[in-house]
């Protein structure tokens, strides 16, 4: 076995590989950029080598610097994780030349599966179902229309070198086809330096289901079941699960056998994933093969009991697989949610900054958190905004879903915006619970974006009861303060009014054995909790059900977070609550004369000067964060009165950039 491996990656996947290597008794080497000098993966590894500047192009993507780190440390093998150099054939060749093992497949598999046109042709030769289409390069817009008519609309135009949702257009008519071809080719040229376009039939009501394969260098290939990855936003996966709630055993076996056939055709030797698109009648078609470890691999690990990273390391060390197909049994259900530093209420704009408070849910046999950060870590503008992957396991899908809801409720993050409210809303959605999934799920259910009103509460009185109990605990302590002014003592009363998001709820809170009893009208809530003052997570049992709520003290008020909803509460005496009805509301300041930065990031472009008259739709400025550039355009005809920042400045969210007359 290898004595030392280098992980050519960062963040949660680097930490994930280090954990398995440590369990196997293998030494580890981390590499890091300027931005990651104090990162968790650097401290977890036995050794760490600096490889360059914060931008990935100056560090993690520099093959020469990674090779120098290998030589410096004497690492015998390299695990590339995913992203960065994981599917880079030149990197694999360089390692081979240096006599260093690549913990991944051979160069033939990487190159043949890295080209969408070539991979589709190879898949067809291997007997894998492929989507009807035209796999040669389309010459021009007229040629595209001719092909689309032969295939039959709707048709998907795709860049051959595409990935990550870029270079793709669905067209439904000749006119859309002409326009779509030109725009897709332009995007492919600018994004990938390769403007080759092909076409295929667009599958309606599609599901994205993938098969995990595992192969060694001795001709053994097996599949480890499937993963349902249909919950996507802009072609990026959000929630994954294993097994799929849609497949039957016959379809699972057929997909698995075809995935194995494709792996054999390219002499595959490692863990890999064959992705399929599946229609409403369980017809499945080859999409692509990812020649690396997938982000969502933990769900497969939980339902099979296998460590995929360990198998990858052993295969790279020329060991035969220790498993046969008969050894693979799917047991229980696993769901993964990707926790990102982004604001779902602002069109998912990325959020950067320091994790002032970070407390993931307790890890157990049924709750797993794969993360590369900790409290105090910085979410940088230079890399993917993933904070962690949260994975839950259950004996069945319903139990895995419930555990995911509870774990999301307990996931305490402050300092950056995050998508936990959105994830909770998805998991709680009736359509998700029923398993009626397609890749269009999010677009169909949230066509106008995600809003606070999209987070349903099964019982809105639950957070009211918890607010009342936590306030009662605060009031009980306050009443014990010595030296209080006579006639103005703080009292530990029973009758309160909870004002929750503007609604008044009169409640009576009684201390009973092992907890509290909260009454509102005919509703009675028996609340048992060992919560202590200052703890931001309230774990309770209410009428026999386990409930987890996050709570922030905001002056005299509480802000509660439960099942994705944010509930602002104020608990007052009945007299004080009645007086609040007469309070004058202070209107927010008028910011309509300012252009505000929608996200924290770098001001990469100022497109106007003071005194310029700008037409509606014209660009005013551009802000970049996490590899995403956001062009800010005028909503109406305006005149620029004052420029408040300088090109190259780092901006905070809602920081004024321009002032209009």
What's the rounded mean pLDDT across residues 37-63?
96
Active site residues: 288
| Dist. CA 573–CA 120, nearest whole Å | 69
Query: What is the span of the domain harbouring residue 260?
Result: 207-331
Flag whether 348 is in a domain.
yes
- At 514-566, the pLDDT tens digits run 899 999 999 999 999 999 988 999 999 999 999 999 999 888 899 999 988 88
| Dist. CA 262–CA 240, nearest whole Å | 23
Q: Name the band, by pLDDT with cuts 50, 70 and 90, for residue 490.
A: low
- Is it the case that residue 60 has pLDDT exceeding 90? yes
Q: Name the band, by pLDDT with cuts 50, 70 and 90, for residue 349.
A: confident
10 Å Cβ neighbour count for 366?
19
- At 441-467, the pLDDT tens digits run 999 999 999 988 888 777 889 999 999
Q: What is the mean pLDDT of the chain?
A: 92
Flag whether 545 is in a domain.
yes
What's the rounded mean pLDDT across residues 600-610?
90
In a shared domain, residues 565 and 474: yes
- At 239-279, the pLDDT tens digits run 999 999 999 999 999 999 999 999 999 999 999 999 999 99
Looking at the DSSP bridge assignments, the partners of residue 509 are 518
In a shared domain, residues 399 and 417: yes
- At 177-223, the pLDDT tens digits run 999 999 899 888 877 888 899 998 888 889 999 999 999 999 999 99
- At 363-398, the pLDDT tens digits run 999 999 999 999 999 998 888 889 999 999 999 999
Domains identified in the chain, total number: 6
In a shared domain, residues 231 and 283: yes
| Dist. CA 571–CA 574, nearest whole Å | 9
| Residue from 146, 144, 185, 194 nearest 167 by CA | 185
| Dist. CA 345–CA 132, nearest whole Å | 39
% pLDDT > 90, the chain: 75
In a shared domain, residues 183 and 214: no
- Is it the case that residue 165 has pLDDT exceeding 80? no
Q: Is the peptide bond before 154 cis (omega within 30 degrees of 0)?
A: yes
Flag whether 115 is in a domain.
no
In a shared domain, residues 566 and 602: no
- At 616-650, the pLDDT tens digits run 889 999 998 766 778 899 888 999 999 999 999 98
**CATH code, domain carrying 238:** 3.30.470.20
In a shared domain, residues 313 and 410: no
Q: Kindly write down the DSSP assignment for every residue of 43-63, as one continuous string.
A: HHSSEEEEEE-SSGGGTTT-H
pTM more than 0.75: yes
Query: In Å, what is the CA distance from 604 to each residue of 187, 648, 650?
Result: 20, 6, 9
- At 30-47, the pLDDT tens digits run 999 999 999 999 999 999
In a shared domain, residues 467 and 452: no
**The last residue of a domain, from among 292, 311, 331:** 331
What's the rounded mean pLDDT across residues 577-604?
86
**CATH code, domain carrying 637:** 2.40.50.100
In a shared domain, residues 336 and 444: yes
- Is it the case that residue 317 has pLDDT exceeding 70? yes
% pLDDT > 70, the chain: 98
Flag whether 47 is in a domain.
yes
| Residue from 130, 196, 207, 193 nearest 158 by CA | 196
């Amino acid at each position: 076995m290898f004595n030392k491996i280098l992980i050519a990656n960062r963040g949660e996947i680097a930490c994930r590989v280090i954990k398995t290597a440590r369990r196997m008794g293998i030494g580890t080497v981390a590499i890091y950029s300027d931005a990651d000098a104090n990162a968790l993966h650097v401290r977890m590894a036995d050794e760490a080598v600096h490889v360059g500047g914060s931008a990935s192009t100056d560090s993690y993507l520099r093959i020469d610097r990674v090779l120098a780190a290998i030589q410096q440390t004497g690492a015998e093998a390299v695990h590339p994780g995913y992203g960065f150099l994981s599917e880079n054939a030149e990197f694999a060749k360089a390692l081979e030349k240096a006599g260093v093992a690549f913990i991944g497949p051979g160069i033939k598999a990487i190159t043949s599966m890295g080209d969408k046109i070539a991979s589709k042709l190879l898949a067809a030769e291997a007997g894998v179902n492929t989507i009807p289409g035209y796999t040669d390069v389309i010459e021009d817009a007229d040629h595209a229309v001719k092909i689309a008519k032969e295939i039959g609309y709707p048709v998907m135009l795709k860049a051959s070198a595409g990935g990550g949702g870029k270079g793709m257009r669905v067209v439904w008519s000749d006119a859309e086809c002409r326009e779509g071809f030109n725009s897709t080719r332009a995007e492919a040229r600018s994004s990938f330096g390769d403007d080759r376009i092909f076409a295929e039939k667009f599958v309606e009501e599609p599901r994205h289901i993938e098969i995990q394969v595992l192969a060694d260098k001795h001709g053994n290939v097996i599949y480890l079941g499937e993963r349902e990855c249909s919950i996507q936003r802009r072609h990026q996966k959000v929630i994954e699960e294993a097994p799929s709630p849609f497949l039957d055993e016959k379809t699972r076996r057929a997909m698995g056998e075809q995935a194995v056939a494709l792996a054999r055709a390219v002499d595959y030797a490692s863990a890999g994933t064959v992705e399929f698109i599946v229609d409403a009648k369980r017809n499945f078609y080859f999409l692509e093969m990812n020649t690396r470890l997938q982000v969502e691999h933990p769900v497969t690990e939980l339902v099979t009991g296998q460590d995929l990273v360990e198998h990858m390391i052993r295969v790279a060390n020329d060991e035969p697989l220790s498993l046969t197909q008969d050894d693979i049994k799917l047991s229980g259900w696993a769901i993964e949610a990707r926790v990102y530093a982004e604001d779902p209420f602002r069109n998912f704009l990325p959020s950067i900054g320091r994790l002032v408070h970070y407390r993931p849910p307790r890890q157990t046999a049924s709750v797993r958190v794969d993360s590369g950060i900790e409290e105090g870590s910085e979410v940088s503008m230079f890399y993917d905004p993933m904070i962690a992957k949260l994975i839950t396991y259950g004996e069945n899908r319903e139990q895995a879903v419930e555990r995911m809801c509870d774990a999301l409720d307990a996931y305490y993050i402050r300092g950056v915006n995050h998508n936990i409210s959105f994830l909770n809303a998805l998991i709680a959605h009736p359509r998700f619970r029923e398993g009626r999934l397609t890749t269009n799920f999010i677009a169909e259910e949230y066509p106008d974006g995600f809003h606070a009103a999209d987070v349903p509460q099964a019982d809105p009185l639950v957070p009211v009861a918890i607010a009342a109990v936590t306030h009662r605990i605060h009031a009980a302590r306050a009443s014990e303060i010595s030296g209080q002014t006579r006639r103005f003592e703080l009292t530990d009363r029973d009758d309160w009014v909870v004002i929750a998001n503007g609604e008044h709820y009169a409640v009576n809170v009684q201390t009973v054995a092992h907890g509290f009893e909260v009454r509102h009208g005919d509703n009675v809530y028996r609340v048992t909790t060992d919560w202590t003052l200052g703890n931001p997570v309230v774990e309770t049992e209410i009428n026999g059900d386990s409930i987890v709520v996050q709570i922030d003290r905001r002056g005299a008020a509480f802000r509660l977070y439960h099942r994705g909803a944010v509930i602002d509460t104020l608990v007052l005496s009945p007299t004080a609550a009645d007086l609040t009805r007469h309070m004058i509301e202070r209107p927010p300041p008028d910011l309509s004369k300012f252009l505000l930065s929608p996200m924290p990031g770098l001001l990469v472009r100022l497109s106007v000067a003071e005194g310029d008259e700008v037409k509606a739709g014209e660009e005013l400025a551009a802000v970049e964060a996490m590899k995403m550039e956001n062009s800010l355009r005028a909503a109406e005809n305006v005149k620029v009165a004052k420029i408040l920042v300088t090109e190259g400045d780092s901006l905070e969210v809602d920081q004024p950039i321009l002032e209009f007359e």
